[in-house]
Structure 1
Amino acid sequence: MTKKVLVVEDNELNLKLFCDLLRAHDWSAEPVRDGREAVARAREVEPDLIVMDIQMPHVTGYELILALKADLELRSIPIMAVTAYAGRDDEDRIRSAGADAYVSKPISLARFMEAVNGLA
């Protein structure tokens, strides 16, 4: 059975890259361009993993992680943050919000898939 991943990313090129990369590795990728739609889409899709940007308009990745982890139906879904924030404090803050993994941009394709497969 193909595993599903919800990809939350406002940058169209990154969204396409992440979805194409996941699909090339036999994942079913569901794109979401706006963090405000992510919780509802997660309920619909019931993903095995959520990959999300941290720096998004309207709803930050931090806020989204907190909302997902506060939701009884969604809190057990692993979250991988993908962000241009690269400092140690940033990673600690992202993980303390509830992210299970962290990959910095620009991404290494191998490191991205290694992190995804580590959460599967």
Structure 2
Amino acid sequence: MPGNTILVVEDNEKNRRLLRKVLEVTGYTVVEVETGEAGVQAAREHKPDLVLMDYQLPDIDGIEVFNRIRADASIPRMPIIAVTASAMPEDQKRMKDAGFDGFETKPISVTALLANVARFLPPPAKP
């Protein structure tokens, strides 16, 4: 039985692949998209249990995507974790003020990522 579904909104293919592999090996089901617009649509369609959202996307920024997901009554509320290469304190404050449930910096630390995800979703049971 597959684990909880995590939506990864990330435009960089290498970062998406890393996130997908780490999460799938852990037992989560992963849906991945490259743009903010696709992220909103995927959230509507797949109703994920958690979202990992790149802050800098090619079409609209992560805060706008976050706001669109939160404003859409057809999308159940789920934790949304910002993922960004910008680790400046003011950027973390901006994302926290926007309402993100968590924050991950790039390059991704697998241990920190899984700990952050586990704050909201229990690791899937091993068969």
Shorter-chain TM range is over 0.9
Between the two proteins, the alignment pairs up a number of residues equal to: 120
Stretches (4+) displaced over 3 A: none
On the 8 A contact 1:84/1:104 being kept in 2, the answer is yes
Cα offset for 1:31? 0.7
Root mean square deviation, CA, Å: 1.1
1:7-47 superposed Cα distances (whole Å, 9 cap, x missing partner): 00000000000011100110000011111111111111110
Query: Counterpart in 2 of 1:85?
Result: 86
Contact 1:69 1:98 in 2 (8 A): no
Q: Give the SS at the match of 2:82.
A: strand
Corresponding residue of 1:36: 37
Q: Identity across aligned pairs (percent)?
A: 38
**Higher RCO, 1 or 2 (CA under 8 Å, sep at least 6)?**
2
Instruction: Return the TM-score normalized by structure 2.
Output: 0.90
Stretches of structure 2 lacking an aligned partner (at least 5 in a row): 122-127
- Whether the 8 Å CA contact 1:53–1:83 is kept in 2: the answer is yes
Q: What residue is the counterpart of 1:21 in the other structure?
A: 22
Q: TM-score, normalised on structure 1?
A: 0.94
Describe the SS at the equivalent of 1:107. coil
The higher radius of gyration belongs to 2
Give the unaligned 5+ runs of structure 1.
none
Question: What secondary structure is seen at the aligned counterpart in 2 of 1:119?
Answer: coil
